[in-house]
Amino acid sequence: KDGYKVSVVIVDKAGQVAASLRGDGTNPHTMEFAKMKAYTSRTRGQTSLEFIAASSSPEGMLLRQIPGVVAIGGGVPIKAGAEVIGGVGVSGAPGGEKDEVCAKAGIAKVADALK
């Protein structure tokens, strides 16, 4: 809606790619980065922005060693009720905060089907 050139990756409950879409004009890295953001949100059950805070302390930095996770905004867990059933990652907007807004907007479009 805001004209950002983004890529989107959705992972399932097992963290495997269920769907992906590369936007026209996106940079080459956006698809892999979107996958890592989605995986981070699925694995941690929190947004990747929340993961930044959770992994910023000296003890929390160990969480960043989990293969495939990334501490940057743009990943949002997909929930059915309280259960995390997947994650969506968006990459390509100018900043992780804007990527996260895009991811949340996508989840909001299908929220009724997740109840």
Taking alpha carbons only, the member of 12, 26, 15, 10 closest to residue 94 is 26
Mean pLDDT confidence for 90-110: 93
pLDDT tens, residue by residue, 42-90? 999 999 999 999 999 998 899 999 999 999 999 999 999 899 999 999 9
Mean pLDDT confidence for 33-47: 97
Residue 108, token pair as written in the block? 């909001």
Taking alpha carbons only, the member of 27, 70, 80 closest to residue 48 is 70
